[in-house]
């Protein structure tokens, strides 16, 4: 099966922060892959913009090195590489100063899509928006892409929205949550709204509970200082896990259109109950051997920031009343694993008797690794000896089922192409982001004022014991985090 490449219009994409980590690891490799796929029209250009003083040739050398480091080796073809680099330019620019803007304006062309990727610290978003406007570089069709974090609370997100709105319409603003660009996350919508099979069961009558897990094996390492100001709630729950929860919980939109989808997601966020303190477990990883603890990583022995959080969340509406959503995310856990598990209720009556055991259907959507889905179904154990039941997974690993050509399009490359196409479906709207902060703020405020100390957990575990208790006390249990 061969991937379909839908052509996009010729574009000029300016990457502010073009020499930064995100540009090198994700944005430029993603664009190169699109170039290889034949999706980047010949006349399109990529303009790196950052503070360092260098010319096109020096920047192309940097980009070449980044591609060799971060693109899959079999895709690094010298001829293609040079062809791609021919589209790459550089402008030395200071987001807060006046140098470079005239040069950037002179580079812009009238007849193509203009997009500006703000891959810089959020404190510079306002200055960039202002200068793009002042210098007449952005036109009414231009798009800006803003990275996370979008604020650190409701007040800062509101203020950022206001600043951007002074210079750009909402239809021009693309707030990235790269989780939304993942193949499986979109498949979640295809699964729910493209099949008749699941929708009738997708409610509290048939679903016992839902688990969302995003587990990482890495610690905060070199980003300690930054991370300690944020923590798992701000860094992961308010954005990525919230988006996953919305896609699982939302009502079917009338169309797969940006505002129809985002309206439904917003309704979910607004239907979230405040989470009770006893339904939140926060943790910090300990030291193991030579690997430093969280407190050592952030160099603050008294830090109260969480590197792990687990919560029980209620969506207060007709569809979900009584079905809890358990979410957890953390660093230095047993395995890198992101998945959503929809755990269905027991059959109302077992015709096979008590010894047949308790069996449940579980639909698991794996975001990483091995993107795919598994539906655990109950069948008869083969052989003689009466009716013994076992649970077997119906497994669909996408790479196997759909063939290697369709393997993993990186979230960033898909999202960047959506920006060029002008499709905002997979981007967060300003009101969504604000609603998510409005829900998280009181919880963060509560544990900050009470000065709550996170529990400790062992690196390589599934988080603090107390997180297991969150489910045990309701005779449920977390799915295992496994290698």
Using the rule CB under 6 A, give the single segment among 116-124, 244-252, 322-330, 448-456 that binds ligand NAD: 116-124
Q: Rule CB under 6 A: say whether 70 interacts with ligand NAD.
A: no
CB of 178 to ligand NAD, least distance (A): 7
Cα-Cα-Cα-Cα torsion 285, 287, 288, 292, nearest 10 degrees, comes to 110
Q: Between residues 22 and 129, which has the closer beta carbon with respect to ligand NAD?
A: 22
Residue among 14, 39, 44, 119 that touches ligand NAD (CB under 6 A): 119
Compute how many residues bind ligand NAD; rule: CB under 6 A: 22
Residue identified by tokens 């009466």 is: 386
Q: Rule CB under 6 A: say whether 211 interacts with ligand NAD.
A: no
**What is the DSSP track for 279-337?**
GEEEEEE--BTTBPPHHHHTT-TT----SEEEEEE-B-STTTTT--EEEEEESSBSS-E
Q: Which pair of structure tokens corresponds to residue 399? A: 């790479």
In the set 135, 240, 314, 349, the catalytic residue is: 240
Q: Between residues 93 and 160, which has the closer beta carbon with respect to ligand NAD?
A: 93
Given a contact cutoff of 8 angstroms between Cβ atoms, the answer to whether 413 and 30 are in contact is: yes
Using the rule CB under 6 A, give the single segment among 64-72, 87-95, 204-212, 317-325 that binds ligand NAD: 87-95
Q: Environment class of residue 205 by beta-carbon count within 10 Å: exposed (0-12), middle (13-18) or buried (19+)?
A: exposed
Q: Rule CB under 6 A: say whether 148 interacts with ligand NAD.
A: yes
Per the annotation, the verdict on 178 as an active-site residue is no
Q: Between residues 99 and 141, which has the closer beta carbon with respect to ligand NAD?
A: 99
CB of 352 to ligand NAD, least distance (A): 50
Cross-sheet strand order for the sheet of 45-50: 88-92, 45-50, 11-16, 113-118, 143-146, 173-175
Q: Between residues 121 and 260, which has the closer beta carbon with respect to ligand NAD?
A: 121
Using the rule CB under 6 A, give the single segment among 119-127, 276-284, 323-331, 455-463 that binds ligand NAD: 119-127
Residue among 3, 69, 96, 392 that touches ligand NAD (CB under 6 A): 96
Q: Which helix (H) or strand (E) is 143 found in, with range?
A: strand 143-146
Given a contact cutoff of 8 angstroms between Cβ atoms, the answer to whether 293 and 287 are in contact is: yes
Given a contact cutoff of 8 angstroms between Cβ atoms, the answer to whether 350 and 364 are in contact is: no
Count of beta carbons in the 10 Å neighbourhood of residue 47: 24
Q: How far apart are CA 333 and CA 461, in angstroms?
A: 5
Given a contact cutoff of 8 angstroms between Cβ atoms, the answer to whether 91 and 102 are in contact is: no
Q: Rule CB under 6 A: say whether 123 interacts with ligand NAD.
A: no
Using the rule CB under 6 A, give the single segment among 117-125, 160-168, 181-189, 206-214 that binds ligand NAD: 117-125
Q: Rule CB under 6 A: say whether 103 interacts with ligand NAD.
A: no
Q: Between residues 77 and 134, which has the closer beta carbon with respect to ligand NAD?
A: 134
Residue among 50, 173, 245, 362 that touches ligand NAD (CB under 6 A): 50
Q: How far apart are CA 303 and CA 241, in angstroms?
A: 24
Q: Rule CB under 6 A: say whether 14 interacts with ligand NAD.
A: no
Q: How far apart are CA 354 and CA 388, in angstroms?
A: 11
Q: State the sign of the Cα–Cα–Cα–Cα dihedral 28, 175, 125, 120.
A: negative
CB of 407 to ligand NAD, least distance (A): 22
Q: Rule CB under 6 A: say whether 231 interacts with ligand NAD.
A: no
Q: Identify any residues that bridge with 272 across adjacent strands, giving them in sequence order.
A: 315
Using the rule CB under 6 A, give the single segment among 13-21, 304-312, 370-378, 437-445 that binds ligand NAD: 13-21
Given a contact cutoff of 8 angstroms between Cβ atoms, the answer to whether 100 and 91 are in contact is: yes
Q: Nearest residue to ligand NAD, using CB?
A: 20
Residue among 11, 14, 19, 62 that touches ligand NAD (CB under 6 A): 19
Using the rule CB under 6 A, give the single segment among 79-87, 142-150, 395-403, 419-427 that binds ligand NAD: 142-150
Q: Rule CB under 6 A: say whether 124 interacts with ligand NAD.
A: yes
Q: Rule CB under 6 A: say whether 51 interacts with ligand NAD.
A: yes
Summarize the chain as % helix, strand, coil (round to 5): 40, 20, 40
Using the rule CB under 6 A, give the single segment among 88-96, 199-207, 434-442, 460-468 that binds ligand NAD: 88-96
Residue among 10, 20, 350, 455 that touches ligand NAD (CB under 6 A): 20
Given a contact cutoff of 8 angstroms between Cβ atoms, the answer to whether 71 and 33 are in contact is: yes
Residue among 122, 170, 444, 458 that touches ligand NAD (CB under 6 A): 122
CB of 54 to ligand NAD, least distance (A): 11
Q: Rule CB under 6 A: say whether 396 interacts with ligand NAD.
A: no
Q: How far apart are CA 481 and CA 467, in angstroms?
A: 13
Helix axes 78-85 and 28-36, enclosed angle (nearest 10) = 110
Residue among 58, 75, 121, 394 that touches ligand NAD (CB under 6 A): 121
Count of beta carbons in the 10 Å neighbourhood of residue 27: 26
Given a contact cutoff of 8 angstroms between Cβ atoms, the answer to whether 149 and 120 are in contact is: no
Residues near ligand NAD (CB under 6 A) are 16-23, 50-51, 93-96, 119-122, 124, 147-149
Catalytic residue ranges: 240
């Amino acid at each position: 099966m061969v991937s379909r490449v839908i052509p996009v219009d010729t574009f000029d994409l300016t990457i502010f922060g073009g020499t930064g980590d995100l540009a090198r690891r994700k944005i430029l490799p993603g664009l190169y892959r699109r170039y290889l796929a034949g999706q980047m029209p010949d006349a399109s250009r990529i303009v790196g913009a950052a503070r360092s003083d260098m010319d096109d040739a020096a920047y192309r050398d940097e980009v070449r090195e980044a591609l060799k480091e971060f693109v899959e080796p079999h895709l690094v073809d010298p001829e293609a590489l040079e062809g791609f680099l021919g589209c790459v330019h550089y402008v030395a620019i200071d987001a807060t100063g006046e140098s470079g803007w005239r040069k950037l304006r002179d580079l812009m062309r009238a007849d193509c899509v203009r997009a500006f990727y703000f891959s810089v610290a959020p404190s510079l978003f306002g200055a960039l928006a202002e200068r793009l406007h002042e210098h007449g570089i952005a036109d009414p069709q231009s798009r800006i892409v803003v990275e996370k974090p979008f604020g650190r609370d409701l007040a800062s997100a509101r203020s950022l929205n206001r600043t951007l709105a002074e210079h750009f319409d909402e239809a021009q603003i693309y707030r990235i949550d790269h989780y939304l660009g993942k193949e499986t996350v979109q498949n979640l919508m295809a699964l729910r709204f493209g099949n008749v099979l699941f929708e009738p069961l997708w409610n509290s009558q048939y679903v016992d509970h839902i688990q969302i897990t995003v587990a990482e094996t890495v610690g905060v390492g070199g980003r300690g200082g930054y991370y300690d100001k944020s923590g798992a709630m701000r860094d992961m729950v308010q954005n990525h896990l919230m988006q996953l929860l919305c896609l699982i919980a939302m009502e079917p939109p009338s169309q797969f259109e940006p505002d129809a989808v985002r309206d439904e997601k917003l309704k979910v966020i607004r239907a979230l109950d405040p989470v009770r303190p006893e339904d939140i477990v926060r943790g910090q990883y300990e030291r193991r051997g030579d690997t430093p603890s969280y407190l050592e990583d952030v160099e603050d022995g008294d830090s109260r920031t969480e590197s792990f959080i687990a919560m029980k969340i209620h969506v207060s509406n007709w569809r979900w009343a009584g079905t809890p959503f358990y979410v957890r995310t953390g660093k230095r856990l047993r395995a890198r694993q992101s998945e959503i598990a929809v755990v269905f209720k027991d059959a109302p009556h077992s015709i096979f008797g008590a010894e047949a055991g308790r069996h449940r259907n579980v639909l698991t959507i794996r975001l990483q690794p091995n993107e795919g889905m598994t539906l655990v179904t109950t069948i008869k154990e083969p052989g003689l000896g009466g009716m013994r039941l076992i649970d077997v997974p119906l497994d669909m690993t996408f790479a196997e089922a759909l063939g290697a050509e369709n393997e993993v399009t990186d979230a960033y490359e898909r999202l960047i192409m959506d920006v060029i196409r002008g499709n905002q479906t997979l981007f967060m709207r300003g009101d969504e982001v604000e609603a998510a902060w409005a829900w998280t703020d009181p919880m963060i405020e509560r544990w900050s004022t009470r000065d709550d100390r996170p529990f400790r957990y062992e690196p390589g575990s599934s988080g603090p014991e107390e997180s297991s208790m969150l489910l045990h006390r309701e005779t449920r249990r977390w799915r295992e985090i496994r290698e």
